[in-house]
Structure 1
């Protein structure tokens, strides 16, 4: 079993997530292989996991001739009741022309195209408008989240929950998280449910994130390796050697 982990040209792991993955897979006896450019990997065995940025992970899947649907799982239909706010599909040009201000937008397909941002006026479109093509986006009503958590879900069970924003003494409703998991019928083998709480104490589902290349947010190295392995094996239709 091998784990290919992305590094800088210097040989240092490209970020803390890569290092934590290294620690985790090493614990479980994986042979660790470093890489800088995913296209340089000649190994064609889909069982061997890759750890890196979202672009590299998806390019590796392409290189293995594995088809992954392009659309993200940000807002699953089954979880709409947990969103508690209006979310709709649009394009950059449509929002700009309609002057729909005071909303949050993020790319629907090209997740690395730009970071999700709040649109308050025309100036917020700088760098977003492309005259050659229009960009498909998600739009959301604004919610002032005071605290946010990432819930790591693996095989329909909560693996860990990590607060990444806000007050340390705010509590998340675990039963609500479990309810969301049970309602998410088409869930992948590993993914994250991000929840936030507003100034009135109401809890919202912020978004859902695919599990193939998420940040650690403080999760243990062993759990992180198990989390990544679950999703990679599902995408490649291979055995998950860490399914225990």
Structure 2
């Protein structure tokens, strides 16, 4: 167990779905916990140590990492070990280069930020007017770009170590499940590569071609929960946080 689990609240004890799952598991196993508001963390009012667990949204989690001097991981959403599962071209570009390509009549492209993930939501860019959605983002902003494909279903696969603990539908036809053989093979290859975190989420879907394909990989320390239960979800985020704490130099 951790000495204490700090869980972000919205105020008056209200919890986001993921935070409620972690809270439920802490209560069940007797893990000491404390709810906190973002203001308290940002004011450095939480007594964080290398035996603390912190759970909140991405920005809050990153703030906690910086206070603990944990390096924020640079985990690729398209791991090299899993590129063969993409079933589409993926490349990097800048926002300005993409705009020029679209203005020159190139085929539509799906693009999302490559580093500052929250500056805009990934979307298809097909016309000049689509760039309205990026607001004041710099034209030098690096992007992940990919061919536009048709997803018939989308699922999140939750993994602890090399074990799949839940496969949750979140979009498209719920009856079109990704091939479990492909999922197991992908997780095994990711584990063997040494790229995989100790726990993570990885999204797969079924394309219009019928292929099971990788959508993207997701970090395990702040991960959206769909239908996964509290025990599996808390186990996942606890496992990833322990790994991050273990990256700290010993005193």
Are 1:188 and 2:197 matched, yes or no?
Answer: yes
Q: Name structure 1 gaps, 5 residues minimum.
A: 239-244
Instruction: State TM-score, norm by structure 2.
Output: 0.89
Give the counterpart of 2:112 among 83, 91, 106.
106
SS in 1 for 2:78: coil
Q: Is the 8 A contact 1:156 1:181 kept in 2?
A: yes
Are 1:43 and 2:47 matched, yes or no?
Answer: yes
The structure with the largest helix share of the pair is: 2
Residue 4 of structure 1 deviates from its aligned partner by 1.0
In structure 2, the residue matched to 1:5 is 7
In structure 2, the residue matched to 1:21 is 22
Q: Name structure 2 gaps, 5 residues minimum.
A: none
In structure 1, the residue matched to 2:56 is 52
Q: Is the 8 A contact 1:92 1:129 kept in 2?
A: no
Comparing 93-102 and 200-209, the one that deviates more: 93-102
How many residues align? The count is 236
Moved over 3 A (4+): 129-133
SS in 1 for 2:33: strand
Could you tell me how far apart the structure 1 residues matched to 2:218 and 2:138 are? 29
Comparing 23-32 and 224-233, the one that deviates more: 23-32
Residue 68 of structure 1 deviates from its aligned partner by 2.2
Give the counterpart of 1:79 among 62, 78, 82.
82
Comparing 39-48 and 25-34, the one that deviates more: 39-48
Residue 10 of structure 1 deviates from its aligned partner by 3.3
Counterparts in 2 of 1:61 and 1:131: CA distance versus 1, 3 Å? closer
Q: Is the 8 A contact 1:92 1:128 kept in 2?
A: no
Residue 132 of structure 1 deviates from its aligned partner by 5.5
Q: Is the 8 A contact 1:101 1:121 kept in 2?
A: no
Q: Is the 8 A contact 1:148 1:196 kept in 2?
A: yes
Residue 217 of structure 1 deviates from its aligned partner by 0.6
Q: Is the 8 A contact 1:5 1:33 kept in 2?
A: yes
Residue 103 of structure 1 deviates from its aligned partner by 1.1
Residue 194 of structure 1 deviates from its aligned partner by 0.7
Residue 114 of structure 1 deviates from its aligned partner by 1.2
SS in 2 for 1:45: coil
Residue 183 of structure 1 deviates from its aligned partner by 1.3
